[in-house]
């Protein structure tokens, strides 16, 4: 009995020694806490469970990678990405990643399998304290099934949450998040914030009057106005604000497209109309619908269309390449499901040597129209154009006056010649050669005297341009820009007020023009006011 007991004790000691000699594995712990407030899966709880598992299974935790408040549907998690970078660097000093549950690693089935395979390629094992999955064919099958189940959980939860949000929307309740500028939320519904509503009305009134983004932004910054987040306004925030239908009282929900696989959202991409909830008079209106429509009219002139056949290319015929001097034309690029439209150099299109980069047609057209409106709608533009046009008229008239001065100078010389000839005849008597010369000189004097009289009469018929003339011209432009609904009319208008556009790899140079027919020294002539606007391409 004693021997048996002794042997058993020896066996136990041997087993303990063997376990102690077993190599300890190095590992890192990965924890994630999403925004749905899981209590049992808090960061502290996950760390405690992972530490307990590591001690029981001979792992040594050397570091932690923790993502707080980040969804498992995306891999764009700071600590997750940092962990992957360390693994891929080749300077990795651990051979295992331990998680509480596999859904902490990823809730997207595709990402879960993809990144587990990446870890496997670098010799790193993925270990769950709950799901004991072997790294063999059967284990990979189980892992794939569990990843799919995890994604189903997220998708199903999202569907259930969406049901509740849609019900709130039908009751015109605010579904969370910061309300738009001009509103507060009280008892679950939008109410007008009058101190902010002043900003909204100013923006829409200026936009309806045709002012461009730059002018509006300068005015807002000059007044010290800020966005709902306390930041200065930018073009993007202004663009979204002017398009927001809530401001004329239309409650709208579920408009923005879903986030992509990387959990990113394109705020300019919208869902199908059948999915969007719109309720007229569903929230308090800050402006009238008529003002909203007028404010958006100038923004919609360059309506985007991805159809190669239908896209109007409003600036065709006006564009020149600043790199080689060739003309530029419209071009449709096949990218994604619909593609996009650009302008490019003709030489580049014909595979000749030109390095000028293409430029998005919608971006260029919107810039040109915004600049046209901003310049010709500015308060002091009437005075500027009137002054410059009259200066041009005076310049042309003075050029014409030089003809009169030259003629008078020539006449004076002829009169001197005539006097000398008469003096010669008086002293030498009649001489046929002198007599013929005198007769020719007299005819020239008569011709120049008549010419000078005509020119002096013309100078009395030089007109000037009044402020009223310029104002009528600009009013026509403004009216056309605000009321246009026809793309062809828009193109004709742009061609009437733009001389040319030069594009190189650095900048875009637009020369705007306004022409006037005037009388200069009795002749009808065209005088053109020009304004040049230059913008760096990266600022468009």
Per-residue pLDDT tens digits for 174-214? 877 889 999 999 998 999 999 999 999 999 988 877 777 88
Query: What is the pLDDT at residue 65?
Result: 94
Query: Is the pLDDT score of 350 beyond 60?
Result: yes
User: Quick one: what percent of the chain has pLDDT higher than 70?
Assistant: 74
The predicted pLDDT at position 256 comes to: 66
131-151 CB burial, b ≥16 within 10 A, e <16: eebeeeeeebeebeebbeebb
**DSSP string across 58-100:** TEEEEEEEEEES--TT-S--HHHHHHHHHHHTT----SEEEES
Q: Centre a 10 Å sphere on the Cβ of residue 299 and count the other Cβ atoms it contains.
A: 17
Q: How far apart are CA 298 and CA 309, in angstroms?
A: 24
Q: In the numeric block, which tokens belong to residue 117?
A: 């395979």
Q: Which residues fall within 8 angstroms of residue 125, CB to CB, at 6 or more apart? A: 95, 96, 97, 119, 135
- Strand-pairing partners, residue 342, are 331, 360
> Looking at residue 510, what DSSP letter applies?
E
Does 301 score more than 70 pLDDT?
no
Q: Has residue 69 got a pLDDT over 50? A: yes
Measure the CA–CA gap between 222 and 211, rounded to whole angstroms.
15
3-class secondary structure, 505: coil
pLDDT band at 226 (very low <50, low <70, confident <90, very high): very high
* Of 294 and 197, more confident: 197
Cα gap 43→51, rounded to integer Å: 12
Q: What mean pLDDT do residues 59-88 have?
A: 88
Instruction: Report the candidate in 149, 81, 68, 64 with the shortest Cα–Cα distance to residue 115.
Output: 81
The answer to which of 104-113, 409-418, 471-480 has the lowest mean pLDDT is 471-480
Q: What is the largest CA-CA distance in the chain?
A: 175
Determine the Cα–Cα distance for residues 38 and 411; give it in Å rounded to an integer.
104
Q: What band does 290 get if pLDDT is binned at 50, 70 and 90?
A: confident
How far, in Å, CA of 316 to CA of 491, rounded?
Answer: 9
CA dist 38 and 455 (Å) reads 94
pLDDT recorded at residue 305: 39
* Buried/exposed 94-123: b ≥16 CB within 10 Å, e otherwise: bebbbbbbbbbbbbbbebbbebbeebeeee
Spatial distance between the Cα atoms of 98 and 118, rounded to a whole number of angstroms: 15
At 508, is the pLDDT very low, low, confident or very high (cuts 50, 70, 90)? very high
DSSP for residue 193: -
| CA dihedral over 80, 85, 90, 92, signed as positive or negative | negative
Q: Calculate the average pLDDT of the chain.
A: 78
Out of 95-109, 225-239, 425-439, 451-465, which region has the weakest mean confidence (pLDDT)? 451-465
The span from the CA of 337 to the CA of 335, in Å, is 7
* CB distance 487 to 352 below 8 Å: no
Instruction: Look at strands 25-33 and 96-99 and give their pairing.
Output: parallel
* 32 φ/ψ angles, rounded to the nearest 5 degrees: -140, 140
Dihedral angle over CA of 357, 363, 364, 365, nearest 10: 150
The Cα–Cα gap between 247 and 291 comes to 10
Q: Quote the tokens at residue 468.
A: 């009223």
**335 CB neighbour count, 10 Å cutoff:** 9
Q: How many residues does this entry show for the chain?
A: 540
CB 333 within 8 A of CB 339: yes
Whole-angstrom distance, CA of residue 537 vs CA of residue 540:
5
- Dist. CA 501–CA 327, nearest whole Å: 10
DSSP at 270: B
Q: Give which of 271, 228, 284, 299 is closest to 482, Cα–Cα.
A: 299
Query: Do 107 and 71 touch, CB atoms closer than 8 A?
Result: yes
Among 89, 116, 94, 92, residue whose Cα is nearest residue 105: 116
Average pLDDT over residues 233-255: 86
Cβ atoms within 10 Å, residue 46 = 25
Query: What does the alpha-carbon distance between residue 322 and residue 365 come to, in Å, rounded to a whole number?
Result: 18
Which positions ≥6 away from 538 have C-beta within 8 Å? none
pLDDT of residue 17: 52
Cβ count within 10 A of residue 390 = 18
pLDDT for 519 equals: 66
User: Which secondary-structure segment (H or E) carries 28?
Assistant: strand 25-33
Residue 161 has pLDDT above 90, yes or no: no
The tokens describing 47, both together, are 């760390």
Q: Report yes or no: 361 and 330 within 8 Å, Cβ to Cβ.
A: yes
């Amino acid at each position: 009995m004693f021997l048996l007991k002794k042997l058993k004790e020896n066996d136990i000691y041997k087993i303990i020694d063997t376990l102690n000699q077993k190599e300890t594995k190095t590992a890192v712990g990965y924890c994630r806490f999403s925004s749905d407030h899981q209590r049992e899966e808090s960061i502290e709880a996950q760390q405690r469970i992972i530490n307990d598992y590591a001690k029981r299974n001979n792992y040594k935790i050397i570091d932690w990678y923790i993502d707080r408040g980040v969804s498992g549907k995306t891999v764009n998690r700071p600590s997750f990405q940092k962990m992957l970078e360390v693994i891929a660097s080749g300077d990795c000093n651990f051979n295992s990643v331990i998680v509480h549950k596999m859904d902490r690693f990823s809730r997207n089935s595709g990402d879960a399998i993809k990144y587990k395979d990446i870890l496997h390629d670098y010799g790193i094992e993925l270990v769950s304290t709950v799901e004991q999955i072997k790294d063999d064919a059967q284990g990979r099958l189980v892992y794939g099934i569990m990843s799919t189940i995890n994604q189903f959980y997220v998708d199903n939860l999202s569907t259930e949450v969406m049901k509740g949000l849609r019900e709130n929307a039908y009751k015109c309740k605010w579904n969370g998040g910061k309300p738009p500028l001009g509103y507060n939320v009280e008892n679950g519904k939008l109410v007008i914030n009058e101190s902010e509503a002043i900003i909204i009305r100013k923006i829409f009134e200026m936009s309806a009057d045709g002012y461009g983004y730059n002018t509006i932004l300068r005015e807002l910054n000059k007044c010290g106005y800020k966005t709902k987040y306390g930041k200065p306004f930018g073009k993007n925030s202004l663009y979204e604000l002017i398009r927001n239908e809530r401001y004329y009282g239309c409650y709208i929900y579920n408009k923005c497209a879903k986030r992509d696989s990387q959990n990113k959202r394109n705020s300019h991409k919208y869902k199908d109309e059948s999915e969007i909830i719109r309720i007229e008079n569903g929230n308090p209106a800050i402006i009238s619908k008529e003002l909203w429509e007028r404010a958006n009219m100038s923004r919609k002139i360059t309506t985007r269309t991805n159809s190669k056949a239908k896209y109007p290319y409003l600036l065709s015929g006006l564009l020149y390449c600043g790199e080689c001097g060739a003309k530029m034309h419209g071009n449709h690029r096949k990218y994604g499901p619909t593609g996009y439209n650009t302008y490019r150099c003709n030489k580049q299109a014909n595979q000749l040597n030109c390095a000028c980069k293409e430029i998005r047609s919608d971006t260029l057209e919107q810039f040109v129209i915004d600049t046209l409106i901003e310049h010709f709608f500015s308060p002091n533009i009437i005075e500027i154009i009137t002054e410059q046009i009259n200066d041009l008229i005076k310049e042309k008239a003075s050029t014409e006056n030089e003809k009169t001065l030259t003629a008078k100078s020539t006449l004076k010389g002829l009169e001197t010649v005539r006097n000398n000839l008469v003096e010669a005849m008086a002293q030498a008597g009649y001489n046929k050669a002198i007599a013929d010369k005198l007769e020719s000189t007299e005819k020239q004097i008569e011709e120049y005297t008549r010419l000078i009289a005509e020119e002096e009469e013309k100078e009395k018929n030089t007109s000037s341009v009044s402020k009223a003339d310029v104002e009528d011209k600009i009013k026509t432009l403004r009216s056309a820009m605000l009321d246009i609904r026809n793309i062809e009319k828009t193109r004709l208008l742009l061609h009437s007020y733009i001389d040319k556009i030069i594009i190189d790899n650095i900048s875009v140079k637009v020369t705007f023009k306004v022409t006037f027919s005037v009388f200069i020294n009795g002749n009808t002539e065209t005088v053109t006011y020009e304004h040049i606007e230059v913008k760096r391409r990266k600022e468009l």
